[in-house]
Structure 1
Amino acid sequence: NFKTSKTNLDGTVDGIYTNKSGNRALVMMHFSTTAQISYNAADYRAFLLGSDTSLNSEPVSTGGIKGSFYAFGSTGYVGVLLNADRPFDRQVLNLTVRANAELTMPVAEQAHNGGKLAGDETFSKYDQWRVFFNPGASGVQKIAALDALTFDPAQAYYEVALKEEEAEARNALDQKLVEMRTNLTQIQSYTSDLQTTKIDGLFLRPPAVPVSIATDKITGVSAAEAENGASTLALHTKHVVPGGFALNWRAGDVYDGYLDALVPAGQSYAQFFTKKRDEGTDPTSQQVSDMLWILSDGTSLTQDYQSSDVTMRPLMN
């Protein structure tokens, strides 16, 4: 972690990433999304030096390094991309990043030095932070975005910041599908029980299933059931709740985007989401509360009998 030297903003180094050849490296860092930082890459400057084992400055041993600074919109993420003529040497590098645009009032007295080294007064004059890293070290994580002929910042951001979050979201969706499958199985079981649970020859007729779930069906297997550990569970339904989406989320990812699969031809994204917003809500809870529980003789379990009626309790429970 680090702090900016004048504005005292906390930052985190997410990692150091390289390509397979080892001659391209990306230092990814982020601030809180609420931090007052510039989203314009032109407002930053980066300085690179080599360091010995005592973190004293020395020349960079890898030749031909060129750098670029990237700001990933309002996400709070920033990155420095380094391209070298050959694979990086196993040398600790010290990267100083200077923010020329201070969007937060400087803190009068600092209890830290923002990574300042002895004799470096620029940390008092400018809002800076420093990161030490070794792009030539063994075990540095490699990402596909750095192997592309042309660097795509969006792909790098996806691989570093979003891919893991997307995996967590997919796991949550899979758990919901497992839960829905269990609920549908319970509904089928309870419906069958209605035919066999009788009081004085009376039994409950299966009520009309709410429209919101009447056509629901879960197919496939869960990750725990699959031989390869990959879930194939999918919801099939003819009913999409107002404001909801009919989307096969397994077929895409955040980097490629889902909007083109969702938005009908001829509609803009804004028009589509405005229409979705105006669709209202699904009266599912009302449908459930309005369900009629009718006995085989045509009487109503809820209207013609009291909850205190002991003889009818097996049907009420």
Structure 2
Amino acid sequence: MKNQHILVTGCAGFIGSQVALRLLSAGCTVVGVDNVNHYYDVQLKHDRLDQLLHYESFTFHQMDIEDRESIENLFSTEQFTSVIHLAAQAGVRYSKENPFQYINSNIVGFMSILEACRKHPISHLLYASSSSVYGANTNLPFSVNDNVDHPLSLYAATKKANELMAHSYSHLYNIPTTGLRFFTVYGPWGRPDMALFIFAKAIMEGRSIDIYNNGLMMRDFTYIDDIVEGIIRLLPLAPDNNPLWDSSISDPGNSMAPYKVYNIGNNNPVQLMDFITTLEHHLGKKAKKNYMPMQDGDVPETYAEINSLVDLIGYRPKTSIDIGIGKFVDWYVHYYANRVVASKSV
């Protein structure tokens, strides 16, 4: 991988920053793109970027991916070997408040990336989809062979649209694309809008936590290192055309085109209340609990079927909730203690 020249979009984000770090440590040249928006704590994003900027082989461009001219110029100048597209407007609930932001970033932005890949051919485009695409599907575990035509949020609809857009470009222009349906990623440097971050902050501050669906929820929580390992192993494994693909056999995860979709999750769903109990244990403090009904756009359970991915890359997520939450708490306490010290010294 040392001779790879890779674009990572969303490099100031949770997954993007950790993927970029792993690539840089492996000797790759990485160009990062991020608009560093204010959806959540900008200081956290800058601190993630600071880790990357220690590497001479990393270059950062602050830009919107929906800015077609800037993206085109970047591809023309850099001539990337592959692209890991992780930039997006995230969040199921926020998509009810700000729907046009999702269209701009997740639809128009992805179109900019696809068009740039068409004009400047690459060996592989990996892009972020989401377990949210399963929507009203109740078949468990969720399989890439399942129908995903009933999204329950606009965010999920944009991610399903990304998969369809990628397929059309794989078919028309022979661009190898792989979509990754992420399942509840957590860990150090995580997103403040995610449950683990929200719960930890509230518990430490003595505030109550909102527990939706009265706690009757399960999530396939997946530790960040397992996600990164999967992405790194997939990068050199670009899909090929498949002349044996049969349209009479429904298989949405495959195609005659160089196109694949995979679940990337822990394959071991955890009860939300067990998740909270583990967090309480590592924080050494009990949570004040406020039980709430299910929110619009949420689903009661996620559970990833990952056999096709495991067979391909020879790796299965292995980080337990106890170890993962423990590492998150260690990071969280250290990171915010240092931020408080730094702010007082200014």
Please state which band the TM-score falls in when normalised by the shorter chain.
under 0.3
- Work out which structure has the larger RCO, using CA pairs closer than 8 Å and 6 or more positions apart in sequence: 2
Higher-Rg member (1/2): 1
Which of the pair is proportionally richer in helix? 2
